[in-house]
Structure 1
Amino acid sequence: MSRGARINTVLLLLVAALAALPLVLGLGDHKEEPFTGADAEAETAITEIDPDYEPWFSPLYEPPSGEVESALFALQAAIGAGVLAYYFGLRRGRRQGEEQAREQAGPDAGAGPGDGDGAVPERTV
């Protein structure tokens, strides 16, 4: 197994552990909704501190249900992942293309026009 494959495997295991750890340890079992978002947690904390608090802004669009809100969030995440994957794929493709072009050009590619001896070939018309 190559060094890069080992690093990827370790990183994948760490991500899986981070995802499974809260479930295994039972974090959030004492709550009605154990894994709510940060917005809901902040709203609960603010109303506990100051029950008369009124938000400064209101949302531009309020989804009709939690399912629609989750679907929109998943769509946003998928679009972001697609943009990142396209960008990194494009960079990798360009790098591989440059490497192939260098390999095909050979070792004398940087010597200038000609066959590497410095002489300019004759031009036929």
Structure 2
Amino acid sequence: MTTQEVADQLVKWCNEGNEAKCYQELYSPDAVSWEMEADPNDAMAKCVGMQEIQKKGEWWYENFEVHSSKASEPTVADGYFTTRFDMDTTHKPSGQRSKMSELGVYKVKDGKITEERFFYQNGEQQ
């Protein structure tokens, strides 16, 4: 798959609520996931490999109720692409509902996502 094809498929599946299929079909088994501004001692700051990335996803769904999520059309440049995610969520432990946007930046090599990085305003509500 080309970078454009990977990007288009990720956006399509995310907008269909099928993120699990993205991880199964589009990611390299040794992919790396980075969270912006995370505490370096936090196990979620850098996840290496699909097992760790899956644990991060499980943590997300255990802690956040997602009311809506929308991925924008991707922007592709060589072996990279980015998409904006707009989300309306409730933090389950606190009950606090908020809307946020984040940018996902993805690196693609040999038709698979090998790295993802997320950028957002940590702790601020819109």
Instruction: Indicate whether the TM-score tops 0.5.
Output: no
Q: Quick one: higher RCO (CA 8 Å, sep 6+), 1 or 2?
A: 2
Decide which structure has greater helix share. Answer: 1
Larger Rg: 1
TM-score (norm 2): 0.20
Decide which structure has greater strand share. Answer: 2
